[in-house]
Chain A
Amino acid sequence: MIRASRNHPGWWAALGHRLSGLALALFLPAHFLVLGLALEGDAALDGMLAWTDRPLVKLAEWGLVMLLTLHLGFGLRVLALEFLPWRDPLKVLISLGAGASVLAGLLFWIMVS
């Protein structure tokens, strides 16, 4: 259970940053594996790319775009927090970052569908 004292935007942003980072780290080996297929010739890579052209994989790719933009947004939050002279808890920035991520995800969805 989430402690009551943790229920605030800064904590959720920090958790989102870590979890998205972990998920991206898990994805990276698969990403390199697919890139590695190019070394084996265009047929192997094209075969893989054709396989990715299905709704479920597209959904997973959408998740990936969301993870990347969320990780970027939350990472920028940490940089802003540590390097810029600020006083307020940056809640507006957190909301803007999360909003931008959803927008990026939406754009991706429109482009692939």
Chain B
Amino acid sequence: MQDTAETEEMLEVEIWRGAEDGALRTYRVPRRESQTVLDVVTWVQRNAEPALAYRFACRVGMCGSCAMQVNGKPRWTCRTHVAKVAEGGKLRIEPLANLPKIKDLATDMAPFFEKWAEARGRHEPTRTRHEPMAPVSPENPARAAANAGIECINCAVCYAACDVVGWDGSYLGPAALNRAWTLANDERDADRCGVLRAVSQSGGCHTCHSHGSCVEHCPVGINPTAGIAGLKRMTLAALMRGEL
């Protein structure tokens, strides 16, 4: 039998090990056809480093749990093909930027989700479950604006890509503000003014510098910068009307 280890194409993969004071460690991983970055991490965990900590669940780009920095860019690893991102057969995989590192590739997502709550990301209903459903026209411009932002999978890729999040710890970030934008445009929300109040605080929508890194990296094609710009206009108009 031929020794495949000699002829097999290998990837040189650097993976972050440890917490904040950790370091990159290099692994050699067999190259496979249609291999994703998550496949690479899983191979390392199963074959070379059983103690490697990382998160994943659905493997099909729905749950938003497997995001990591791949060669310096935040990406959803389950839908990122090695062929598209490997540079000279090399990969550098690190935990998401702008979040505290817990261990290896797992970050503490608490600050990310706490900011969703701070941005009043919870829907306040206008009706109870005992009332008929509110008729909402999909042609309504506000509904169309909300629809453009509702497919967020909470992967925190935009949060990791945003420079302002890195500079200002109080900044709510693109995902939370995008969520607020969808609620501010939702005619079924009972306290849309409350959303505008929440996002016009220090660290809210007016902190955004419009770099557009969130749009550039969002894996599901949402445009948080457009939503944040919309919130800026909406809060200004509410202020002029004396509602804020």
Binding site for B on A (CB under 8 A): 3-6, 8, 10-11, 14, 78, 81-83, 86-87, 89-90
Closest A residue by C-beta to B223: A87
> Chain B residues near A8 (CB, 8 Å)?
212-213, 216
Q: Contact between A11 and B213 (Cβ–Cβ < 8 Å)?
A: yes
Q: Contact between A82 and B217 (Cβ–Cβ < 8 Å)?
A: no
Q: Contact between A6 and B71 (Cβ–Cβ < 8 Å)?
A: no
Q: Given A5-B73, A81-B225, are A89 and B210 neighbors across the interface (CB < 8 Å)?
A: no
> Interface-forming stretch among B123-131, B195-203, B226-234?
B226-234
Candidate in B161, B163, B212, B216 with the most chain A CB atoms within 10 angstroms = B212
Q: Contact between A5 and B226 (Cβ–Cβ < 8 Å)?
A: no
Q: Contact between B72 and A3 (Cβ–Cβ < 8 Å)?
A: yes
Q: Given A82-B233, A83-B233, are A10 and B211 neighbors across the interface (CB < 8 Å)?
A: yes
Candidate in A3, A5, A78, A81 with the most chain B CB atoms within 10 angstroms = A5
- Shortest C-beta distance, B71 to chain A (Å), equals 6
Contact of B213 among A6, A86, A87 (CB under 8 A): A6
Binding site for A on B (CB under 8 A): 69, 71-74, 97, 148, 160-161, 163, 209-213, 215-217, 223, 225-226, 229, 232-233
Q: Given A4-B71, A5-B72, A5-B217, are A82 and B211 neighbors across the interface (CB < 8 Å)?
A: no
Q: Given A82-B232, A83-B233, A87-B148, are A10 and B73 neighbors across the interface (CB < 8 Å)?
A: no
Closest B residue by C-beta to A82: B229
Q: Contact between B210 and A78 (Cβ–Cβ < 8 Å)?
A: yes
> Chain A residues near B229 (CB, 8 Å)?
81-83
Rounded to whole angstroms, the CA-CA distance of A82 and B161 in the bound complex is: 20
> Chain B residues near A3 (CB, 8 Å)?
72
User: Would you mind naming 24 contact pairs between A and B with Cβ atoms under 8 Å apart?
Assistant: A3-B72, A4-B73, A5-B72, A5-B73, A5-B160, A5-B216, A6-B211, A8-B212, A10-B213, A10-B215, A10-B216, A11-B163, A11-B211, A11-B212, A11-B213, A11-B216, A82-B210, A82-B232, A83-B229, A83-B233, A89-B215, A89-B216, A89-B223, A90-B212
Contact of A5 among B74, B209, B232 (CB under 8 A): B74
- Shortest C-beta distance, B201 to chain A (Å), equals 19
- Shortest C-beta distance, B160 to chain A (Å), equals 8
Rounded to whole angstroms, the CA-CA distance of A103 and B71 in the bound complex is: 36
- Nearest 6 A-B pairs (CB), nearest first? A4-B72, A10-B212, A8-B216, A82-B229, A14-B211, A5-B73
- Shortest C-beta distance, A92 to chain B (Å), equals 13
- Shortest C-beta distance, B212 to chain A (Å), equals 3
> Chain B residues near A87 (CB, 8 Å)?
148, 223, 226
Rounded to whole angstroms, the CA-CA distance of A70 and B167 in the bound complex is: 25
Rounded to whole angstroms, the CA-CA distance of A83 and B86 in the bound complex is: 39
> Chain A residues near B97 (CB, 8 Å)?
5
